[in-house]
């Protein structure tokens, strides 16, 4: 069963935070979606203005998004924080959905398993009986680079089967590099991609600071640091060589680069990055245990 998201489907978003904004921006600016086919719900108007400015429809009532209601979306992204989902579990709008049309829910809640999502959304534990239902839940882990069409997105298969797998991946591939992973692996995607983009920003800032320390003006230093990352990422993507081989090609004997690499190793930068990914992954796991 294929869904033509671009031409015929209305897509809803519950939650109006930064991740929602990144997804909506990517769909509008990079994937070519019509903003009037994107609908955003939040309990207050605090974050809804930026979506309205893009031409999206906004509401304070989550039920408006459901099929058969005001906006009648058949795909809904759940973009709230895990703690918010817990507070809303007794009044969530999906409990009132009795339509015949399949409803696809795509959750970005870090660490919250599919079985827990079914428990919250369908008000009962997942079991075989739910295979007769019409709510199909996917978990994803994107990052904010979706806003420029260069995001990453791990996708976890729906417990009800693979009916909509290709449609969901096709949708998300418009704004990100996507891969299906096991649910156990999704937390690691949060560490390397979801949170990892912030680690890259930190590295870029540090490189620019170093260049300023050595005499470059701030704007020049920052632009060179950014372009260095862009160029390195593109070479890593397009080359069949191992990253260490690409690095060694820059390291002339007794040259500037090997001295810099030595400084990185002396300060345990590689170990620090590994620790950062591990810490972010473990925190994602904690969300699932503690917040719903």
Annotated binding residues for NADP(+), as ranges? 14-19
- Bridge partner residues of 11 (DSSP): 38, 75
- The side-by-side arrangement of strands in the sheet containing 103-107 is 57-59, 38-41, 11-14, 75-78, 103-107, 135-142, 151-156, 176-181
State the Cα angle at 26 between 8 and 155, rounded to 5°: 80
Alpha-carbon distance of 101 to 106, in angstroms, equals: 16
Alpha-carbon distance of 13 to 93, in angstroms, equals: 13
Structure tokens at 160: 């009800």
Give binding residues for NADPH as ranges: 62
Query: Is residue 155 within 8 Å of residue 178, measured between CB atoms?
Result: yes
Residue 268 gets the label, from left (phi > 0), alpha (psi -120 to 50) or beta, of left
Residue 145 gets the label, from left (phi > 0), alpha (psi -120 to 50) or beta, of alpha
Alpha-carbon distance of 17 to 76, in angstroms, equals: 15
Structure tokens at 103: 């409803």
Give binding residues as ranges: 14-19, 62
> 3-class DSSP state for residue 152?
strand
User: From the CB of residue 241, how many other CB atoms can be counted at a distance below 10 Å?
Assistant: 13
């Amino acid at each position: 069963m294929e869904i033509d998201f671009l031409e015929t489907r209305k897509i809803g978003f519950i939650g109006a935070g930064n991740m929602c904004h990144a997804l909506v921006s990517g769909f509008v600016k990079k994937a070519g979606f019509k903003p009037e086919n994107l609908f955003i719900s939040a309990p207050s108007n605090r974050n809804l203005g930026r979506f309205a400015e893009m031409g999206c429809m906004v509401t304070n009532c989550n039920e408006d998004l459901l099929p058969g209601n005001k906006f009648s979306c058949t795909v809904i992204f759940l973009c709230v924080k895990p703690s918010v989902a817990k507070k809303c579990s007794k009044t969530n709008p999906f409990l009132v959905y009795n339509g015949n049309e399949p409803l696809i829910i795509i959750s970005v809640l870090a660490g919250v398993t599919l079985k827990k999502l079914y428990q919250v959304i369908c008000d009962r534990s997942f079991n075989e009986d739910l295979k007769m239902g019409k709510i199909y839940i996917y978990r994803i882990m994107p990052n904010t680079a979706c806003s420029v069409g260069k995001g990453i997105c791990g996708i976890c298969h729906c417990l009800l089967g693979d009916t909509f797998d290709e449609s969901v991946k096709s949708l998300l591939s418009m704004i990100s590099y996507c891969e299906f992973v096991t649910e156990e692996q999704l937390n690691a995607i949060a560490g390397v991609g979801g949170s990892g983009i912030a680690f890259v920003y930190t590295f870029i800032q540090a490189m620019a600071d170093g260049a300023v320390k050595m005499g470059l003006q701030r704007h020049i230093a920052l632009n060179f640091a950014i372009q260095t990352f862009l160029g390195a990422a593109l070479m890593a993507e397009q080359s069949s060589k191992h990253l260490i081989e690409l690095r060694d090609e820059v390291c002339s004997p007794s040259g500037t680069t090997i001295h810099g690499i030595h400084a990185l190793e002396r300060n345990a930068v590689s170990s620090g990055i590994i620790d950062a990914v591990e810490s972010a992954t473990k925190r994602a796991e904690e969300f699932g245990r503690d917040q719903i």
